[in-house]
Structure 1
Amino acid sequence: MRDVALAPAVAPPLTGGLADSVFDTAERSPALPLLAHRADPAATVWQEVTAIELRDEVVDLAKGLVAAGISPGNRVAVMARTRYEWTVFAHALWAVGAEVVPVHPSSSREQVEWILRDAGCVAVVVEDEQGVMTVGTVCTRLPRLRHVWQLDAGALPDLVQRGATVPYTTVESLRRIVLPDATAAVVYTSGTSGRPQGCALSHRGLAYPCDTVLAGWLHTAAPPGEQPSVLAFLPFSHVYGIMIMLTCVRGGVLMAHEPELSETALASALGTFRPTYLYGVPSVFEKLYKNFLRAAGQAGRGTLFERAAQTARDFAAAEERRRLGTGPGPGLELRLQHALFERTVYRRLRAALGGRVVRGTSGGSSLSRELTLFYEGMGIVVNDGYGLTEASGGITMQPLGRAKSGTVGRPLPGTEVQVADDGEILVRGPSVFQGYVGDEAATRAVLRGGWLATGDIGRLDSEGYLTITGRKKDVIVTSGGKSVAPALLEQRLRMHPLVHQAVVLGDDRPCVGALITLDPEFLAHWRGALALPREGPGRESREENALREEIARAVASANSAVSRAESIRVHRVLPEPFAATAGLLTPSMKLRRDAIVRHYAAEIDAMYQARSRAGRGVPEPADWDEPDDVFR
């Protein structure tokens, strides 16, 4: 068992609650812009909110909450997209000692009922009429629920008016009795399998990774002399989103809210707000790369882009070797190539992201080494970090000047990481959660002698860098007894521009298989670029054969990263992507493996049966020696 921890923490200790930072910043820098929002996705002007304005809005709303009977320890759910009001409501609730329960706005009626009942919520903030209807269908089974506040119906100004007669000193008194170890939020796990569990996170636990990152990395988040800025678009219903919100508010980082997740809205937000720091999950960075590639192809510069992308990766890899003391750095020819592409390609790619982004962070799952090197080579250092809900979102980060792509970095100062003999990652530190709400048995199962058993598997290298290889419960065991971690194969599959999503499976099957969905936008571009006659007999068949060959190449590329016994032997391309509305994705866009396997049980059976029939009469394991490319 290896045990790694960095130097003692440099972040100042928390003495109160999360709302204090709003008041402290307002007193210290009242005119500092903290938040930004716009009227709609088409707007080009962002309305900025200063620290003193935010403090006053939080106080006024907190007075309204007191008037509505919200008291310390009450739990209030917030079921809305990433909007400005979300941030104000959260800090107002913390100011009066209440606890926030984030709920994704697309949650089903059954999920909403479970979370509100399990957490014992006394109120819920919804976004629109649809949210009211969802809660309304289950409220008779929620005896503790007293209020349903709708943002689009003026809930915030109504509450402010209701609290007009409540003295300011009442809010101050409540805020000052909030202790660091009091529960600040009950954040429900994504529920990739089974029912979501509510993780009780303290004010101290949520603040610790944020303050540690601010203390060690804030100065890198913008060019010298500029205020760092972040575009928040991932759901605040996920701990990653909450960590971003708190890091910005606590660190004086200007944070813009973008509730729309469409490509058009995000492109507009990036172009008009122009953040200095970019964060996202791997699928966001993968999609950006594919968009760059597609745009280059449509402009007739596809070959130029691919050369530039390879040069970026080579340049970043050489720089990495120099940083880590294992090589001399880029040679003269590589530096000249990189300088040429800087003038012709890289600066245009950065301009598409607003032109001011200098760094970024990817979380939620591992970002591929190839993409990490690409972004660094084009001028944006994207650090891959690691965290989970039970650890308040943050566990590792890349050390400045010593980043190692392909890993998730080293433990944050003050956080300890061990890798058990079976490969499971164990964590200990101030950010570890208080336990699962109402489930002592589940809490005892993951908290072992002060260590949190994360359920993730990985390895630590000789310098303490952590590499995540998958989820313990996701490990596939074939009928031949071979154990396979699917994460690497899925990551490699998604690197192909045509592949949107991939689920690797094979439990109790004779070999590893995969379900694949295609990227609709890139597929349309790919079809248009095919050198086939526009019309004529057999075009559709030739196009499908070309697509089969392209996906087969993607599978072969993924297989090159693993042993033959672990490789994908059968696969099927599905006609449409996995969707959150069908219950196949979590709110943070992770795959719900169990749900996908159940939903596509017939297709999975047909995939294996087709290959078995094709090889009938040939003894196993030769039946499974070559990959199959079954299309639905």
Structure 2
Amino acid sequence: MAYKVPSSEVPGYSYIIRHPDFKDGTCGAKYSDVTTLWELFRREVTEFSKKEFLGTRSFDPRTGKFGDYSWMTTTDASEIVDNFGSGLDQVYAKYAPMVPEATPGQQPLGLFSNNRAEWLLAEFAAFRSRRYSVGVGDQLGVDCAEETINHAECAVIVCSMDKIPRMLDRMDMTPGVKVIVSMDKLDCSLPNLFTQAFNSKVAAGWRTRAESMGVVLLDMAQVMDMGRAQPTHVSPPKPEDVCTITYTSGTTSAQKGIVRTHASNVAASKSIGLPLQTQNETYMSFASLAHCFDRFLIYAMMFEHVRIGMYSGDIANLGDDLRALRPTAIVNLPWKLNELYGLIASSTIKAGGLAGMLSRFAYKQKIKRIAAGKGYKHALWDRLIFNKVAQVFGGRVEMLLTGGGQISSELQTFFSVILSCESLHGYGQSENFANGTVQLKGHPAKGNAGVPAPGVDIRLRSVPEMEYLITDSPCPRGEIMIRSKSGFSEYLKEPELTKAAKDGDWVATGDIAQFNADGTISIIDRMKHIIKTGRSFFVAPEFLESCYSKHQLVKDIFINGSVEERELVAIVVPNKEKFVPWARGIVGNAGNLSFENLCANKDVTQALVKELKLHASLNNLMYQEQICAIHCDPMPFEKNSRGFYTSTFKLRRTAVLNSYKDKFPKLFAEADSNVKLTVS
């Protein structure tokens, strides 16, 4: 499928591959009039005037219930952006005139909230006067929001009302902040999910407290009033201007500020928009806007208009949001789809009785139909079986997009069948604004990362220390190198890290891939995550975690070892639904123990170690790859505030190690004891 550039091999590097429809390495001339995200926004406003653009669910604070979506048109959005942008000009001139040395001539605007319409509106308002956005998030750890604000030197922060108490409580940690702008009215006259815990009296107290600290507290409505009273001229950004700084944390390192220009963001969004061929989509936004994946897709779909429905702000309510919005395009992550697969499959293709038999027969019939190129819908089986399941996602999904990790062909096929839609997987990094590869629409090959997106060159670099070589047979293997106009400029204030991440015009991703015989790319490993144990044996913890996580009793797992310790140990979060009945069978008379107590029970943890050892043997793992002691934690990795995941939901190994550092000495001692007991 991918186009192989002739005579492009050099020593240590594979040949270069490109998208088959863009063999010259460019994205072509389409949309060439758009060179900045400000121009993209203006295109949306002028080409799709008065069309529904940003959707928000109504909220009743008396009942705590959400209602239907209400829509802001492109024309409404343009007016808000113009007024708020004019007001921001006055706010900066009066209260925050300082310009960071790292970005001469431009100033940052910090954005701190869950996904909501005001986040995007504030960002476009920043672009109006050559300012750039800085996504502030708190998913990566307790202090990461403050670290981001300080590192990016944000003097003005636009945030949701629920973030104001945190900002004021920690103001001594962010001395550079001069202005806080609430997305919500400070008189609480427009109640929503983010204001329900507060009232105008509380907000008045915040204002007094802020003044005592030398901080100005305003709301967006007040800033817009300033803009209406004294409109300012638009000062549009240039393609080479800084557009956004995205903070991301790798699996082993601290946060890095990824500096991106308007030109690179437009290139990335155009690159993915061309092969997806979206038009007048309805899209659910719930992946954090502070990072790049969600914005990347939003910008891509804006070229041919998109209705962006914001989730309610409570991820537990996402299913209800989907049913209310009924999106045509959704994005999800492989690990989340795996969870959904277990729930949906148990009531369909893995169910017992007549219902299960019919579901399996219908499933096979639809697979045959899709393979024959007859489309994703089936008049009979959709009506009888699959439409009921599709209603969980709103019933109108035409495109399911996934990224942030590998996905199996079985999982992609399953969701294509039950949702009657195209399922496309891609690969990218924050350094490339999530733009790298994408699967071709209508192509049957699944379970891979697809081919290079238009305008993206990809090659492999040999990694001899891990025995991945471009000369490997039958498929070249090595580190993915990406060259494109969507690459990042630098890591803010980190010249050495920037230098290490680049190889000339190429970005070194740190991911290991192979070029498949069918022209697709598969991600097969990650560099550096190798543990040498006291047995002088090298193990790949992520590979082992992937293997052990397939056991029905395991939800999350983290494997640790070191050169000082002979055995491997693990932190395990059990799958509560399967674990509780199994564990109660172990403890016998103490069968009324809670999930938390079962996790702490010594007999249960020892029995789980034996289960995992058996699982390892059945999966052909060597003895040195078996886990010899575990700590069971009832708290899932994604449901804590310790920042265990990167923005693309890769496990941050350093964060997990630090969180459980007090557990590991005891676990290693227990592992040695268990092994000695086994030997004796």
- TM-score (structure 1 length as normaliser): 0.82
- Judged with a 3 Å threshold, the aligned counterparts in structure 2 of structure 1 residues 407 and 109 are, in CA distance, closer, same or farther, namely closer
- Given candidates 299, 321, 325, the residue that maps to 1:246 is 299
**CA distance in structure 2 between the partners assigned to 1:547 and 1:381 by the alignment:** 42
Deviation of the 1:135 alpha carbon: 2.9
**CA distance in structure 1 between the partners assigned to 2:239 and 2:635 by the alignment:** 47
> What residue number does 1:53 align with?
76
Deviation of the 1:514 alpha carbon: 3.6
Amino acid at match of 2:267: Y
Moved more, 285-294 or 308-317: 308-317
- Unpaired segments of 5 or more residues in structure 1? 222-226, 324-328, 624-632
**CA distance in structure 2 between the partners assigned to 1:114 and 1:236 by the alignment:** 18
2:328 aligned with 1:292, yes or no? Answer: no
1:331-342 to structure 2, matched below 5 A, reads 342=382
Quick check: 2:57–2:312 contact (8 Å CA) kept in 1? no
- Judged with a 3 Å threshold, the aligned counterparts in structure 2 of structure 1 residues 608 and 387 are, in CA distance, closer, same or farther, namely same
> What residue number does 1:26 align with?
45
> What residue number does 2:256 align with?
197
**CA distance in structure 1 between the partners assigned to 2:380 and 2:607 by the alignment:** 34
- Given candidates 317, 332, 337, the residue that maps to 1:280 is 332
**CA distance in structure 1 between the partners assigned to 2:388 and 2:55 by the alignment:** 26
- Judged with a 3 Å threshold, the aligned counterparts in structure 2 of structure 1 residues 316 and 560 are, in CA distance, closer, same or farther, namely farther
1:260-279 to structure 2, matched below 5 A, reads 260-263=313-316, 265-279=317-331
**CA distance in structure 2 between the partners assigned to 1:554 and 1:313 by the alignment:** 32
2:466 aligned with 1:434, yes or no? Answer: no
Overall identity of the aligned pairs, in %: 19
Quick check: 1:109–1:135 contact (8 Å CA) kept in 2? no
**CA distance in structure 2 between the partners assigned to 1:293 and 1:139 by the alignment:** 49
User: 1:271 is paired with a residue of what secondary structure?
Assistant: helix
- Given candidates 346, 357, 367, the residue that maps to 2:397 is 357
Quick check: 1:231–1:278 contact (8 Å CA) kept in 2? yes
- Given candidates 71, 96, 101, the residue that maps to 2:129 is 96
**CA distance in structure 1 between the partners assigned to 2:130 and 2:123 by the alignment:** 11
> What residue number does 1:213 align with?
272
- Judged with a 3 Å threshold, the aligned counterparts in structure 2 of structure 1 residues 316 and 342 are, in CA distance, closer, same or farther, namely closer
2:143 aligned with 1:133, yes or no? Answer: no
**CA distance in structure 2 between the partners assigned to 1:288 and 1:98 by the alignment:** 40
- Judged with a 3 Å threshold, the aligned counterparts in structure 2 of structure 1 residues 406 and 488 are, in CA distance, closer, same or farther, namely farther
**CA distance in structure 1 between the partners assigned to 2:528 and 2:117 by the alignment:** 37
Moved more, 149-158 or 135-144: 135-144
User: 1:85 is paired with a residue of what secondary structure?
Assistant: helix
Amino acid at match of 1:100: S
> What residue number does 1:224 align with?
none
Deviation of the 1:210 alpha carbon: 1.8
Quick check: 2:55–2:69 contact (8 Å CA) kept in 1? yes
Quick check: 1:362–1:384 contact (8 Å CA) kept in 2? yes
Quick check: 1:109–1:134 contact (8 Å CA) kept in 2? no
- Judged with a 3 Å threshold, the aligned counterparts in structure 2 of structure 1 residues 531 and 617 are, in CA distance, closer, same or farther, namely closer
**CA distance in structure 2 between the partners assigned to 1:447 and 1:391 by the alignment:** 12
**CA distance in structure 1 between the partners assigned to 2:594 and 2:493 by the alignment:** 58
2:222 aligned with 1:167, yes or no? Answer: no
2:36 aligned with 1:17, yes or no? Answer: yes
- Judged with a 3 Å threshold, the aligned counterparts in structure 2 of structure 1 residues 303 and 123 are, in CA distance, closer, same or farther, namely farther
**CA distance in structure 1 between the partners assigned to 2:367 and 2:172 by the alignment:** 59
> What residue number does 2:434 align with?
393
Moved more, 58-67 or 427-436: 58-67
1:452-467 to structure 2, matched below 5 A, reads 452-467=507-522
Quick check: 2:642–2:659 contact (8 Å CA) kept in 1? no
Quick check: 1:478–1:510 contact (8 Å CA) kept in 2? yes
**CA distance in structure 2 between the partners assigned to 1:549 and 1:137 by the alignment:** 46
Moved more, 341-350 or 272-281: 341-350
2:420 aligned with 1:367, yes or no? Answer: no
**CA distance in structure 2 between the partners assigned to 1:310 and 1:608 by the alignment:** 46
> What residue number does 1:584 align with?
644
- Judged with a 3 Å threshold, the aligned counterparts in structure 2 of structure 1 residues 12 and 260 are, in CA distance, closer, same or farther, namely same
- Write out per-residue CA displacement over residues 307-364 of structure 1, whole angstroms, 9 at most, x where no aligned residue: 67877886788789878xxxxx99xxxx9xx998645432221111111112211112
Quick check: 2:281–2:306 contact (8 Å CA) kept in 1? yes
- Given candidates 119, 132, 146, the residue that maps to 1:86 is 119
> What residue number does 2:452 align with?
411
User: 2:65 is paired with a residue of what secondary structure?
Assistant: coil
**CA distance in structure 1 between the partners assigned to 2:118 and 2:301 by the alignment:** 15
Quick check: 2:438–2:451 contact (8 Å CA) kept in 1? yes
Amino acid at match of 2:90: A
Quick check: 1:312–1:376 contact (8 Å CA) kept in 2? no
- TM-score (structure 2 length as normaliser): 0.77
Quick check: 1:316–1:376 contact (8 Å CA) kept in 2? no
**CA distance in structure 2 between the partners assigned to 1:474 and 1:307 by the alignment:** 44
Quick check: 1:387–1:396 contact (8 Å CA) kept in 2? yes
- Judged with a 3 Å threshold, the aligned counterparts in structure 2 of structure 1 residues 18 and 357 are, in CA distance, closer, same or farther, namely same
**CA distance in structure 1 between the partners assigned to 2:58 and 2:269 by the alignment:** 29
- Given candidates 123, 142, 146, the residue that maps to 2:156 is 123
Amino acid at match of 1:276: T
Deviation of the 1:242 alpha carbon: 2.0
**CA distance in structure 2 between the partners assigned to 1:618 and 1:558 by the alignment:** 17
**CA distance in structure 1 between the partners assigned to 2:352 and 2:531 by the alignment:** 37
1:135-150 to structure 2, matched below 5 A, reads 135-140=167-172, 142=174, 144-150=176-182
> What residue number does 1:630 align with?
none
Amino acid at match of 1:12: Y
Amino acid at match of 2:222: D
- Given candidates 29, 39, 45, the residue that maps to 2:58 is 39
- Given candidates 601, 607, 620, the residue that maps to 2:661 is 601
- Judged with a 3 Å threshold, the aligned counterparts in structure 2 of structure 1 residues 151 and 562 are, in CA distance, closer, same or farther, namely farther
> What residue number does 1:4 align with?
17
> What residue number does 1:65 align with?
88
Quick check: 1:202–1:434 contact (8 Å CA) kept in 2? yes
Deviation of the 1:285 alpha carbon: 1.4
Quick check: 1:516–1:571 contact (8 Å CA) kept in 2? no
User: 2:427 is paired with a residue of what secondary structure?
Assistant: coil
- Judged with a 3 Å threshold, the aligned counterparts in structure 2 of structure 1 residues 531 and 188 are, in CA distance, closer, same or farther, namely closer
Quick check: 1:280–1:362 contact (8 Å CA) kept in 2? yes
Amino acid at match of 2:74: A
Deviation of the 1:102 alpha carbon: 0.2
**CA distance in structure 2 between the partners assigned to 1:410 and 1:565 by the alignment:** 37
Quick check: 1:112–1:135 contact (8 Å CA) kept in 2? no
2:416 aligned with 1:376, yes or no? Answer: yes
- Given candidates 574, 585, 594, the residue that maps to 1:518 is 574
> What residue number does 2:503 align with?
448
Moved more, 71-80 or 607-616: 607-616
User: 1:234 is paired with a residue of what secondary structure?
Assistant: coil
1:318-329 to structure 2, matched below 5 A, reads none
- Judged with a 3 Å threshold, the aligned counterparts in structure 2 of structure 1 residues 483 and 166 are, in CA distance, closer, same or farther, namely farther
Deviation of the 1:152 alpha carbon: 2.6
- Judged with a 3 Å threshold, the aligned counterparts in structure 2 of structure 1 residues 294 and 540 are, in CA distance, closer, same or farther, namely farther
- Judged with a 3 Å threshold, the aligned counterparts in structure 2 of structure 1 residues 613 and 344 are, in CA distance, closer, same or farther, namely farther
Moved more, 476-485 or 435-444: 476-485
- Unpaired segments of 5 or more residues in structure 2? 1-12, 98-104, 187-218, 464-477
Quick check: 2:530–2:539 contact (8 Å CA) kept in 1? yes
- Judged with a 3 Å threshold, the aligned counterparts in structure 2 of structure 1 residues 191 and 540 are, in CA distance, closer, same or farther, namely same
Deviation of the 1:386 alpha carbon: 0.8
Deviation of the 1:404 alpha carbon: 2.7
Deviation of the 1:394 alpha carbon: 1.3
